[in-house]
C-alpha cells in the first residue's frame, strides 16, 4: 500500500482512513465455533447451567494440568478472583502494589478495606522495583501484590527475597500471564497464589472469567468455599463468602479457547515478530521484548515511543493512528495513583517518576487473530510516515489550531 507515502494522505489531515473498519486492541480470539455451539447444546439438554458443573470441572482439570499446578479454581471474573484470593489468603492492613497496572488490581484491595501502597517500577523495566518495595514496608504491611504486566513475569525472585526477609507473603496478579513461564516453570505456581483473568479482551477468554491458582491445599479449600458463599457442604457455611462461580457457558468457552490456545499464541508470536521487523529502523520506536527463552503468550505488542528520537510523542502517534481507524491504546495511563480514590488521598497519590515516564511512552497496537499480516504492514507504514513527517505534522496541527483561533 502506498497511501501513507505522503503527508497529505494521512487521515489526520483529511486523507481517507487506511481502514474502513476500526481495528481494536484486544478483539476477542474465538476458537472452534461448532465445538462451542455443540457444548452449549449439551449444557441446555442436561439443564446444568452453573454450580460447579461438568464443563467447569473439566476446564479446571485441564487448566491445572497445563500449568502443572495443584489447584486451579475457576471464578466468574478476574476481579472477583482477586478479591476471593485476598480474603482466602487473609491480606490485611497495607499491601504493596505497582501503580503501573489495571485499576482492578488496586480496587480489589481498596474494596476490601486494605490500603494499596503504590510503588514505582524499576528503571528500564515495567515491573515493581524490589528496592522501592523494601522502602515502603511498614509495621502494617502484610503482603506484596506483584503484577506480571503484559505477560512479562515481574521480578519474582527479587520480591520473594524481600518477602522472606520481612516475613511477608506474595500474591500475583497474573491476569496477563496465562501461558507464560518464569525460570521454565509456568506462571500460576508462584507466591502463595496467582490470579488469572479470562475476560473477553484477554487472548484466552471464557467470555468473562478468571481463576485462582495455588499449590497450597488450605488456600484452595478456602477459595473453593468462598466462591460459593462460604459453603463447605450442604447447609454448612464455614466462612464469609461471595458468589464467584464460573457458569457452564463460560467454562464451555474456556474449553473452546483451550482447544485453540496454541494457535492463538503462534499467531501472536508472528505478529510480534512482524512488528519488530517492520519497525526496527524507525527511530525512537521500539517494540518491548519478551524473553524468548521462556514461554510467552505474546498477547500484547507494546511500543515504546521515545519522543526526542522519534520527533513525535506517544499521544501524537496515537492521534495519527486513531484517525486511520487503528485504535492504539495507552497503558495504563495515568497510573492507578492518579485515578480516584487514590488521587485525592495524599497518602496514595505519591510521586512515582518511573511510572509517570512509562505511562507517557507506551502504547498497545492491534494483534491477535482478528488482524493479519496485511493489517500490520499498513499499521507499520503509518507509524513510519508519522515519524518521517513528525515535524510537518506538528507544524500543520499548530497551523490548524491557529486557524480556529482567529
Ligand atoms: C483484566 C485485568 C484484571 C481484571 O480482570 P477481569 O476479568 O476483567 O475482572 C485485573 N488485573 C489486570 C492486570 C488486568 O489486566
Substitution candidate for ligand 1 out of 25, 77, 82, 104 with most atoms within 8 A of CB? 104
pTM of the predicted protein model? 0.97
> How far, in Å, from the CA of 105 to the mean position of ligand 1?
7
Nearest CA to ligand 1 atom 5: 78
Phi, psi of 17 (to 5 degrees): -55, 140
What lies within 8 Å, CB to CB, of 366 at 6+ separation is 23, 24, 25, 27, 326, 327, 328, 375, 376, 379
The pLDDT of residue 3 is: 53
Please, are residues 23 and 326 in contact by the beta-carbon 8 Å criterion? yes
The pLDDT of residue 205 is: 98
Residue ranges of the domains in the chain? Answer: 7-27+261-405, 33-256
The pLDDT of residue 404 is: 86
Substitution candidate for ligand 1 out of 111, 149, 173, 196 with most atoms within 8 A of CB? 173
Q: Does ligand 1 lie within 6 Å of residue 197's CB atom? A: yes
Distance CA 285, CA 10 (A): 19
Q: Does ligand 1 lie within 6 Å of residue 203's CB atom? A: no
Architecture of the domain spanning 33-256: 3-Layer(aba) Sandwich (3.40)
Q: Does ligand 1 lie within 6 Å of residue 126's CB atom? A: no
The pLDDT of residue 1 is: 45
Q: Does ligand 1 lie within 6 Å of residue 78's CB atom? A: yes
For domain 7-27+261-405, say whether CATH 3.90.1570.10 is its number.
Answer: no
Distance CA 206, CA 209 (A): 5
Does 33-256 match 7-27+261-405 at the fold level? no
Q: Does ligand 1 lie within 6 Å of residue 363's CB atom? A: no
Residues of the chain with pLDDT under 50: 1-2
Q: Does ligand 1 lie within 6 Å of residue 148's CB atom? A: no
All cell numbers assigned to 189? 505456581
196-231 pLDDT, tens per residue? 999 999 999 999 999 999 999 999 999 999 999 999
> How far, in Å, from the CA of 12 to the mean position of ligand 1?
32
Amino acid at each position: 500500500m502506498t497511501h501513507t507515502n505522503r503527508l497529505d494522505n494521512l487521515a489526520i489531515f483529511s486523507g481517507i482512513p487506511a481502514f474502513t473498519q476500526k481495528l481494536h486492541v484486544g478483539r476477542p480470539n474465538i476458537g472452534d465455533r461448532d465445538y462451542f455451539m455443540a457444548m452449549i447444546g449439551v449444557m441446555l439438554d442436561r439443564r446444568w447451567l452453573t454450580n460447579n458443573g461438568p464443563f467447569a470441572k473439566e476446564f479446571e482439570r485441564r487448566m491445572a494440568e497445563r500449568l502443572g499446578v495443584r489447584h486451579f479454581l475457576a471464578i466468574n471474573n478476574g476481579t472477583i478472583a482477586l478479591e476471593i484470593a485476598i480474603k482466602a489468603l487473609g491480606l490485611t492492613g497495607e499491601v504493596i502494589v505497582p501503580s503501573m497496572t489495571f485499576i482492578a488490581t488496586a480496587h480489589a484491595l481498596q474494596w476490601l478495606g486494605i490500603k494499596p501502597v503504590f510503588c514505582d517500577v524499576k528503571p528500564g523495566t515495567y515491573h515493581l522495583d524490589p528496592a522501592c518495595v523494601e522502602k515502603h514496608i511498614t509495621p502494617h504491611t502484610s503482603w506484596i501484590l506483584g503484577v506480571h504486566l503484559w505477560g512479562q513475569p515481574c521480578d519474582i525472585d527479587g520480591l520473594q527475597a524481600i518477602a522472606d526477609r520481612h516475613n511477608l507473603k506474595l500474591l500475583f496478579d497474573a491476569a496477563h500471564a496465562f501461558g507464560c513461564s518464569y525460570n521454565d516453570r509456568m506462571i500460576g505456581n508462584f507466591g502463595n497464589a496467582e490470579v488469572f483473568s479470562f475476560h473477553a479482551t484477554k487472548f484466552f477468554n471464557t467470555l468473562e472469567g478468571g481463576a485462582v491458582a495455588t499449590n497450597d491445599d488450605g488456600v484452595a479449600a478456602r477459595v473453593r468455599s468462598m466462591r460459593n458463599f462460604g459453603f463447605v457442604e450442604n447447609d454448612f457455611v464455614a466462612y464469609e463468602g461471595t458468589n464467584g462461580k464460573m457458569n457452564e457457558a463460560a467454562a464451555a468457552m474456556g474449553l473452546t479457547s483451550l482447544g485453540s490456545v496454541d494457535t492463538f499464541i503462534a499467531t501472536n508470536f508472528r505478529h510480534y515478530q512482524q512488528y519488530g521487523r517492520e519497525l526496527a529502523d524507525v527511530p525512537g520506536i521500539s517494540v518491548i521484548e519478551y524473553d524468548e527463552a521462556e514461554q510467552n503468550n505474546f498477547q500484547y505488542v507494546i511500543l515504546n515511543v521515545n519522543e526526542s528520537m522519534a520527533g513525535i510523542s506517544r499521544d501524537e502517534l496515537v492521534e495519527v493512528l486513531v484517525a486511520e481507524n487503528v485504535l492504539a491504546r495507552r497503558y495504563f495511563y495515568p497510573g492507578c495513583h492518579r485515578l480516584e480514590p487514590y488521587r485525592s488521598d495524599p497518602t496514595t497519590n505519591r510521586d512515582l517518576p518511573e511510572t509517570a515516564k512509562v505511562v507517557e511512552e507506551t502504547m498497545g497496537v492491534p494483534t491477535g487473530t482478528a488482524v493479519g499480516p496485511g493489517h500490520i504492514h499498513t499499521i507499520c507504514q503509518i507509524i513510519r510516515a508519522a515519524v518521517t513527517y513528525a515535524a510537518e505534522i506538528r507544524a500543520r496541527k499548530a497551523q490548524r489550531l491557529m486557524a480556529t483561533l482567529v
